[in-house]
Amino acid sequence: MSVKPGGHIYFMGIGGTGMAAVAGLCQQAGYKITGSDAGIYPPMSTMLEELKIKALSPYAAQNFSDSKADMVVVANVLSRGNVELEALLSSKTPYTSYPQLLGDLFLKNSQSVVIAGTHGKTTTTSLMAHVLTELGQNPGYMIGGIPKNFPRSFALGKPGGFFAIEGDEYDTAFFDKGPKFLHYHPKFLILNNLEFDHADIYKNLAQIAEQFEKLCRIVGNPQNIIANMDDVNIADVVKKCGLADKVTRVSTLGHSIKESHIAVVKAGATVSTSALPQWQVTLKTRLWGELNLISTLSGRHNMANIAQVVACLEQICSEHRHFKWSAEDLAKAFASFKGVARRLDHLGGKNGIDVYEDFAHHPTAIREVIMGFRQSFPNRRLVVAFEPRNATSRRNTFQDDFADSLALADLVYIGKCPVDLRIPENERMNTRAMQEKIGAKAAAFDENSDLLNELQKNVRQGDAVVFMSSGSFSGIQYQLPELLRGSK
């Protein structure tokens, strides 16, 4: 990638979460940044305004030609036929993807800590960045969400230091169909879990696993691969790479304690009367013995995330022997982690009714969030509202699995599923069929406003309502607390 220090980089599709964050990193590094998008909305529009980055909308060939940019970064949502992209391709201006740019400019010269897996990337990356910060390391980071401990989702950090980043397996750009994470130069790699997802670009789990195998093979020291051996698909990946006995093995569920370097010995919720429960986890470690941690993160999936971060920190210490982090240092750092927006985020409530929001959009994530909440608040009626919004949940690939996971709640409200004409009709999600499989405690709606009206009528004192979506859910999750506050 050739762009001189201080050069002008133009981001085509700057309104995306990743694109806007990389644009911010490049600005911090001294580059001139401008860009464009079809439409730019909060929170990215707000962030770009705060950074004083000029972002044009809608796309137009003149946007690009007037920029006279030295380099163009093309978002993976753009494809041939876009007027601005066609103008770029007709020019001699060099272009790249944001993962390639990120790798070339920042990650290859840092101690990159890549967090990969179907679930938990955003939370685990945020946690890693926070703990490293608390331990005095001034890490760089790029997070695909809003971490509550940081002012923004990105930071350059100390030159040559640690850089925590989500290892996304989604494709890179129209000219590069490989996964983003292959550009990230991992010095340390956390393999959290692996399931089938992204049905719009992968045909089956084997195709995704193949990309994870490629990722493992580019890590220089196999011990720097932190592998969740209680996940059968992760265990299979490292085995196929011939690394099963060389990686740092973690037992995140306590299934293989004896064979693992780090293992969850005990985990569970503490007694809590507040809307934000606390969980305790005890880990078997080599460096700190039995390590006891307390966190506002809840559920066994988050205890697994914590175990992976601890294992990575221990491996970092084995390579940097001058780090003298104590168990007390770690306990303090983990306890001060505030979490990530839209991860069981408490939005408010009234009359003993609490409203939460969660990003869960895969059957496994939904199940784990519900089970974790049950353990935290065993006596509360749990009402779940689910919006099938992303490319996989708009398909019927997981229709029965969604129903099985949602059925763990006491009441289920299924929101509108956008019609995607690119999906054959016989492959589209059928929310009515999902409702029928769950049974009488479920209801499906054609409009999210109707869901909100019905929900408001049926909630009662002591209920906990959790909205689950990877999208906006039409904003009704924010309207419900207001409606409750306005009610008698």
> Is the separation of the CB atoms in 382 and 374 below 8 Å?
yes
Q: Percent of the chain scored above 70 by pLDDT? A: 98
Helix (H, G, I), strand (E, B) or coil at 212: helix
Last residue of a domain, which of 335, 361, 380?
335
> Is the separation of the CB atoms in 262 and 284 below 8 Å?
yes
> Is the separation of the CB atoms in 249 and 259 below 8 Å?
yes
The answer to whether residue 174 sits within a structural domain is: yes
The answer to whether residue 421 sits within a structural domain is: yes
Residues 61, 82 within the same domain: yes
* Prior bond of 42 cis (ω within 30°): no
Phi, psi of 115 (to 5 degrees): -110, 115
Residues 112, 91 within the same domain: no
Cα–Cα distance for residue pair 7/358, rounded to 1 Å: 40
Residues 35, 15 within the same domain: yes
Mean pLDDT confidence for 203-218: 95
Name which residue leads in pLDDT, 431 or 257.
431
Task: Say if strands 95-96 and 71-74 run parallel, antiparallel, or are unpaired.
Answer: parallel
Q: State the residue range of the domain holding 13.
A: 8-96
Residues 88, 110 within the same domain: no
The answer to whether residue 135 sits within a structural domain is: yes
pLDDT digits (tens, 9 = 90+) for 406-430: 999 999 999 999 888 888 988 899 9
The answer to whether residue 141 sits within a structural domain is: yes
- CA of 173: how far to CAs of 74, 81, 178, 190, 467, in Å? 7, 14, 8, 24, 31
pLDDT digits (tens, 9 = 90+) for 362-372: 898 899 899 88
Mean pLDDT confidence for 78-101: 94
Q: What is the DSSP string of 12-64?
A: ETTTSHHHHHHHHHHHHTT-EEEEE-S---TTHHHHHHHTT-EEE-S--HHHH
The answer to whether residue 46 sits within a structural domain is: yes
- Whole-number CA gyration radius for the chain: 23
For residue 314, is pLDDT > 90? yes
Mean pLDDT confidence for 108-115: 96
Extract the tokens encoding 116.
């990969």
Last residue of a domain, which of 306, 335, 364?
335
Mean pLDDT confidence for 142-165: 92
- CA of 379: how far to CAs of 272, 298, 347, 382, in Å? 12, 16, 20, 9
Average pLDDT of the chain, as a whole number = 91
pLDDT band at 157 (very low <50, low <70, confident <90, very high): very high
Residues 81, 171 within the same domain: no
For residue 169, is pLDDT > 70? yes
Provide the pLDDT for residue 200.
76
Mean pLDDT confidence for 10-18: 92
Lowest mean pLDDT segment, chosen from 120-129, 293-302, 326-335 = 293-302
pLDDT digits (tens, 9 = 90+) for 291-309: 999 998 878 888 899 999 9
Phi, psi of 411 (to 5 degrees): -135, 145
- CA of 401: how far to CAs of 189, 253, 397, 464, in Å? 29, 22, 9, 23
Provide the pLDDT for residue 487.
64
Q: Residue 236: which CATH number?
A: 3.40.1190.10
User: Of 196-205, 370-379, 474-483, which one has max mean pLDDT?
Assistant: 474-483
The answer to whether residue 2 sits within a structural domain is: no
For residue 488, is pLDDT > 60? no
- CA torsion angle 331 334 337 340 (round to 10): -160
Provide the pLDDT for residue 345.
81
The answer to whether residue 3 sits within a structural domain is: no
Residues 91, 107 within the same domain: no
Residues 196, 302 within the same domain: yes
Provide the pLDDT for residue 39.
83
Cα–Cα distance for residue pair 399/341, rounded to 1 Å: 27
Extract the tokens encoding 417.
């599923």
Residues 385, 449 within the same domain: yes
Residues 124, 42 within the same domain: no
Q: Residue 446: which CATH number?
A: 3.90.190.20
pLDDT band at 232 (very low <50, low <70, confident <90, very high): very high
Helix (H, G, I), strand (E, B) or coil at 89: helix
Provide the pLDDT for residue 275.
66
Q: Residue 72: which CATH number?
A: 3.40.50.720
Residues 241, 271 within the same domain: yes
Model pTM score: 0.87
Lowest mean pLDDT segment, chosen from 42-51, 54-63, 183-192 = 42-51
Cα–Cα distance for residue pair 407/412, rounded to 1 Å: 7
The answer to whether residue 1 sits within a structural domain is: no
Residues 221, 109 within the same domain: yes
Provide the pLDDT for residue 268.
80
pLDDT band at 271 (very low <50, low <70, confident <90, very high): low
Mean pLDDT confidence for 185-199: 91
Provide the pLDDT for residue 167.
94
Name which residue leads in pLDDT, 320 or 140.
140
> Cβ neighbours of residue 229 under 8 Å, at least 6 residues apart?
235, 238, 249, 250, 251, 256, 259, 260
Q: How many CB atoms lie within 10 A of CB 90?
A: 11
Last residue of a domain, which of 40, 70, 96?
96
Q: Name the residue with tokens 């989604």.
A: 170
In the chain, the number of structural domains is 3
Lowest mean pLDDT segment, chosen from 32-41, 222-231, 344-353 = 344-353
Distance between alpha carbon 455 and the CA centroid of its chain, in Å?
Answer: 28
Residues 84, 105 within the same domain: no
Cα–Cα distance for residue pair 416/103, rounded to 1 Å: 38
pLDDT digits (tens, 9 = 90+) for 392-407: 888 888 899 999 999 9
DSSP 291: E
Cα–Cα distance for residue pair 445/6, rounded to 1 Å: 52
Provide the pLDDT for residue 237.
96
Extract the tokens encoding 157.
């950090």
